[in-house]
Amino acid sequence: MNEFVERLVDLRWPDHVRPSYDVVIIGGGGHGLATAYYLATRHGITNVAVIEKGYIGSGNSGRNTTIIRANYGIPEAVRFYQHSLEMYGQLEQETGRDLMHATKGLLWIAHSEAGVRQERARAEINTAFGSRTEYVDVKTISEICPQLDMTGQGVWPIYGASYHPAGASARHDRVVWAYAEGAMRLGVHVHQRTTVTGFLRDGDRVTGVQTTAGPIGGGLVVSAVGGHVTTLASMVGLRLPIRTHQLQAFVTNRYAQAFGPIVASSGLGVYVSQTAKGEMLVGAEVDRAPAYAYDSGHSFLRSCAFRSIALLPFLRDLRVLRQWTGVCDMSTDYSPVMGFTGVPNLLVTTGWGTWGFKAIPAGGEQMAALIATGRTPPLIAPFALERFANDRTMADRGSAGTH
Amino acid sequence: MTVRRLRIQCPHCGVRAIEEFLHGEIPTIPERVVDPDARDLDRAFMHTNAEGLVTERWFHAMGCRRWLTLTRDTRTNDIPERTTSYPPS
Amino acid sequence: MRALERMLFTRVVATPAAIDRAVWPTGALVLRIAQDEVLAAGTVDLGAVPDQHAIVEPETAFCGAWVDHKSGIQFLEHACDWELPAERPAFAQGAVAGIPVKVWFEAERILFLVPVPFVIDFAERWS
Ligand SMILES: [Zn+2]
Q: Is residue B76 part of a domain?
A: yes
* C-alpha of residue C110 to centroid of ligand 1, in Å: 20
Q: How many CB atoms lie within 10 A of CB B28?
A: 17
Predicted local confidence at residue B2, as pLDDT: 52
The answer to whether the CB of C39 falls within 8 A of the CB of C20 is: no
H/E stretch holding A372 reads helix A360-373
pLDDT for position A6:
63
Query: Tens digit of pLDDT for each residue in A238-251?
Result: 999 999 999 999 99
pLDDT digits (tens, 9 = 90+) for B24-51: 977 778 888 889 999 999 999 999 999 9
In chain A, what residues touch B45 (CB-CB under 8 Å)? 241, 332-333, 388, 393
Strands C99-105 and C90-96: antiparallel
**What's the rounded Cα separation, in Å, for the pair A369 and A51?**
20
Judged by DSSP in three states, A289 sits in strand
Q: Which CATH number fits domain A16-64+172-242+333-399: 3.40.640.10, 3.40.50.800, 3.30.200.20, 3.50.50.60?
A: 3.50.50.60
Q: Answer yes or no: are the C-beta atoms of A187 and A77 closer than 8 Å.
A: no
Residue B1, domain member (yes or no):
no
Q: What is the pLDDT of residue C35?
A: 93
Q: What is the mean pLDDT of residues A266-275?
A: 94
Q: Is B74 on the interface with A (CB under 8 A)?
A: yes
Phi, psi of A399 (to 5 degrees): -100, -15
CATH of residue B44: 3.30.2270.10
Is residue B88 one of the residues assigned to a domain? no
Instruction: Say if residues A176 and A184 touch (Cβ distance below 8 Å).
Output: no
Integer Cα distance of A342 and A324 in angstroms: 36
Inter-chain CB pairs, A–B, below 8 Å:
81
How many distinct structural domains can be found in chain B? Answer: 1
Length of chain A: 403
A294-352 pLDDT, tens digit each: 988 888 898 999 999 999 999 999 999 999 999 999 999 999 999 999 999 999 999 99
From residue A260, alpha-carbon distances to A266, A280, C92 in Å are 20, 11, 48
Q: Does domain A103-165+243-331 have CATH number 3.30.70.1290?
A: no
- Verify whether the Cβ–Cβ distance C35 to B17 is below 8 Å: no
Rounded to a whole number of angstroms, the distance from the CA of A252 to the nearest CA of chain B is 16
Q: Which of C37, C81, C105, C122 to mutate to test binding with chain B, by most B CBs within 10 Å of its CB?
A: C81
Nearest to A357 by CA among A271, A269, A297: A271
Chain B residues in contact with A333 by the CB 8 A cut-off are 45
Nearest to A205 by CA among A338, A24, A342, A339: A342
pLDDT bracket for residue C84 (50, 70, 90): very high
Of A357, A356, A339, the residue nearest A348 (C-alpha): A339
Interface test with A, best of B45, B62, B75 (most A CBs within 10 A): B45
Neighbouring CB atoms inside 10 A of A117's CB total 12
B12·C34 Cβ contact <8 A: yes
pLDDT of A65 reads 92
User: Is A297 in contact with B6 (Cβ distance < 8 A)?
Assistant: yes
Separation CA A94–CA A85 (nearest Å) = 14
Please say whether the beta carbons of B26 and B56 come within 8 A.
Answer: yes
Residue B68 lies in a domain: yes
pLDDT score, position C26: 84
Mean pLDDT over all residues of chain A? 95
Give the range of the structural domain holding residue B72, as residue numbers without chain letter: 7-83
Which of A197, A229, A232, A239 would best serve as a mutation to test chain B binding (most B beta carbons within 10 A)? A239
Kindly report the pTM of this predicted structure.
0.93
Domain parsing of chain A, residue ranges: 16-64+172-242+333-399, 103-165+243-331
| Digit-coded pLDDT (tens) for C86-108 | 999 999 999 999 999 999 999 99
Q: Answer whether B66 sits within 8 Å of C34, measured CB to CB.
A: yes
**How much of chain A, in percent, has pLDDT values that exceed 90?**
91
From C35, C82, C100, residue closest to B15, measured CB to CB: C82
Q: What percent of chain B has pLDDT over 70?
A: 87
Q: What is the pLDDT of residue C57?
A: 95
Cβ–Cβ pairs < 8 A, chains B and C: 40
**Percentage of residues of chain A with pLDDT beyond 70:** 97
Kindly list the residues of chain B whose beta carbon comes within 8 Å of any beta carbon in chain C: 5, 12-17, 19-20, 61-66, 86
Chain B residues whose beta carbon lies within 8 Å of the beta carbon of residue A241: 45-47
CA–centroid distance, A43 to ligand 1, in Å, is: 59
Of A124, A368, A13, which Cα lies nearest the Cα of A222? A368
DSSP A136: E
The pLDDT of residue B89 is 42
pLDDT, tens digit, for every residue of A277-294?
Answer: 999 999 998 989 999 999
Chains touching A, CB cut-off 8 Å, 3+ pairs: B
Going from the C-alpha of A88 to that of each of A30, A99, A103, A336, C39, the distances in angstroms are 13, 9, 10, 19, 60
Calculate the average pLDDT of chain C. Answer: 94
* Predicted local confidence at residue B1, as pLDDT: 45
Alpha carbon C57 to its chain's center: 16
- Radius of gyration of chain C from its Cα atoms, rounded to whole angstroms: 15
* d(CA B64, ligand 1 centre) in Å: 4
> What is the signed CA dihedral for A201, A203, A206, A212, rounded to 10 degrees?
10
* Residue A342, strand partner residues: none
Is residue B89 less than 8 Å (CB to CB) from chain A? no
Q: Find the residue in B nearest to C114 (Cα).
A: B62
In B10-69, the residues whose Cβ lies within 8 Å of chain A are: 17, 19, 22-23, 26, 30, 33, 41-42, 44-49, 51, 54, 56
β-strand A168-169 against A270-274: which pairing, if any?
Answer: unpaired
Q: How close B71 comes to chain C (CA, Å)?
A: 21
Residue B66 lies in a domain: yes
Angle formed by the axes of helices A360-373 and A30-43, nearest 10°? 50
Angle of CA points A316, A317, A320, to nearest 5°:
80
Segment A62-92, tens digit of pLDDT: 999 999 999 999 999 999 999 999 999 999 9
Give CA–CA dist A69/A77, Å, rounded.
Answer: 11
